[in-house]
Chain A
C-alpha cells in the first residue's frame, strides 16, 4: 500500500477534484504513477482504484487498453520509431534495422543495462519531418542512421534534457484557488450556467 509519494498523493487529490466524477481522473493518475516509477505496478493500480472509488480490476482494464502504460519496467529512454506510411516511404524501415543493430535488441526489447527500449510506433504527427522518432515522447525529426547514433551517444551522456521515462509534461497545470470555478457531479446541476440567462437561451 501507499504507492504514491506524499507530494504525488496531494497532487492526485488536486487532479481528482477537477472532474465531475472521480473516475475521470484515472488516466491522469496512471500517468502520475508512471511518472513516479517509470512503469505501473499492481500496487499503483490498487491505490488508484481506492482514490477514484473503483476496483483495481477496473483500473487494470483501463490501464491495459493504452499503449503508453507499461506494466513492467522499461528502459530509462523509450525510443519510438515511427513505422507508418509517411516515415516508411522515407526510410523508417532502414532506421529501425539500424537501431536494432546499434542497440543489439529487437523492436520491443530493452538493452541489458536498462537504458533503452526500442519500439516500432505508429504515426507521431510529424509526417512532414520523416523519418521521425520520439525519445520519451519528445520528437526527433528527419533522423538518419548517423543521427540515430548521435542521439544514443547524447542520451548515454549526462548532457541532455530528456527526462526519464514516465515524465510527460514537465509543467503541471496549476489552478489558483481564487480562480477555480469548481465542479459538481452532473446530477447535481439542473440549471443553465448564469451567463445563459435561462429564458431564450435554449437554442
Chain B
C-alpha cells in the first residue's frame, strides 16, 4: 500500500504558457517539476532562506507591501489578514485551503501536483512571519494524485531539513501535517474547513467573528490561506515586494492563474497579469484561448467561478481588477471562466450550476437547505418543458428568501438595463445558498426570452394539467 513514487501518471494537462511573467507556474515546463531536485536546481527554498535572515515582522511587512490578494475567492490581502491575529494569544495555526471545488476552478490542483515544494515553502514563510506553530495542509479528498505528490514532497523536505525541528539550523521549527478532505464543497469556506479539521461535519460557523485569525482552529488564532496565495510567497521573498508590485496594477499586483473552460478554441489554465489583462485578451488572443470554438459567437460567460453572476460580450473589455468587476455586477472569485457560445441552452446551463449548489448545501441554514432544492426542481421542470409562466416569478420569489433585495447582475445595454453592483445581501451564513440562485438570476435577467420560450406552450395551464398531460 505504501508505494514509493505514487501513481505513475503523466503531467496533469491544461496549463498553456504565454508571454506573461511566470511567478507560480515557472517550473511547469519541466517533466520533473514536482521533485525536490528540480525545485532546488531552480532557485527553490531561496525565499525561505532570505526570510530566515530577517525578523518575522520584516517578512510580514514585505508580504503586506506586496498587496498579495487572496486567490481563493474573496480576494482579501494576505498580509492584512495575517495582521488580524490578536496579540499575545498563542498558539496560532496555519490551515492551507487546498479544497479547490468551485465549479470551473482548476489551478490549486495543478500547483499541488506540479510544484508542491513551492507551496510548502510558502507555508513555511507564512508560519515564520506570523508565528504559526503548526501547519495543516488540507487537500481535497478527490485528488489522489495531488495527495501523493504533496506527501512525497513533504517527506523529502523533512529529510532535507526544510520542515520540522530547527529548520535550516535556525530556531524556527514547524511541522506541516498533510490532511485530507472527503468530499464536501462547502468545506472550502474557511470556517467549515476548520470544523472539518476538528473532525466535525463541515458546516460553516456563525459570524462574527468574521476571520478565523481571531477565533479559528480549537478557538485559537488561525490563518486560512489558499494554495495559490501561499505559492506566491517564495517569489515575493526572493525578488521583493517591489518586483511583485511592478507587475499588474497597484490594487491588483502580480499575476493570477485562471482556468478557461467551455466553448473556446483552446480551453486551458493561464497565468495572466493581474489588473490589466481583459476578458477579451484572455478569450480572443491567439496566444491564449484563440476565440470561441467553430468561430461561433460568444453568448455569455461566468467570470469568477460558478457562484459569480454572468457576463455577456458587453463586459469583455473589463480587466481582471476586482474594483472594476464589482460595480459591474460580478466578482473575480477563484479565477474560473466558463464560456458559453451561441448554441448554449441557457436554462439548461444554469441548471447544471444550481443543481451543484443545491446538492452541496450543508443543511445548516434553512433558506439554503430548502431553497436550493426548490430552485433546482422548478428550473428542472422548466428545462423539461413542464414549466408554466408563473414559474419564472416563482424562481425570483424563492431567490428572494435567500438573497433579499436587488441581486447583482451585469448591464444589458441593448435593453437599457443597468448593472447592479456586487455583493448581495443574504439570509444564510455562507455563500452556498446565494450561489444556487446566482446562475438562475443571471440567466433570467440576461436571457429571459429563452425561459419564456420554454414555458410558452403551457400558458394558462396549471402545473397539474401539464403534469397529467405528460
Contacts and interface: CB of A to CB of B under 8 A. Distances in A.
Contacts of A25: 199
B440 to A, nearest CB: 13
Interface string A119-156: 00111111111100010111101000000000000000
Given A27-B180, A125-B108, A186-B218, A89 B90 contact: no
A2 interface: no
Interface string A80-116: 1001111011100000000000000000000000000
B460 interface: no
Nearest to B340: A89
Contacts of A28: 179-180
B294 interface: no
Interface string A166-202: 0111111111101111110010011111111000111
Chain A interface SS verdict (over half): loop
Interface string B138-178: 00111111011001101100110101110000111111011
B259 A89 contact: no
From A23, A27, A54, A69, residue with most partner B Cβ within 10 Å:
A27
A201 B164 contact: no
Contacts of A52: 199
Contacts of B174: 181, 193
Interface of A: 18-21, 23-28, 30-31, 35, 52, 54, 61-62, 65-69, 80, 83-86, 88-90, 121-130, 134, 136-139, 141, 161-163, 167-176, 178-183, 186, 189-196, 200-203
Given A129-B13, A170-B2, A173-B155, 15 more contacts: A27-B181, A66-B141, A68-B141, A85-B352, A90-B263, A125-B109, A127-B336, A162-B7, A171-B147, A178-B165, A189-B133, A201-B57, A201-B131, A202-B87, A202-B88
Interface of B: 1-9, 12-14, 56-57, 60, 82-83, 85, 87-88, 90-91, 100-106, 108-109, 128, 130-131, 133-134, 140-145, 147-148, 151-152, 154-155, 158-159, 161, 163-165, 170-175, 177-185, 196-202, 218-220, 259-263, 267-269, 302, 306, 336, 338, 340, 344, 348-349, 352-353, 355-356, 359-360, 362
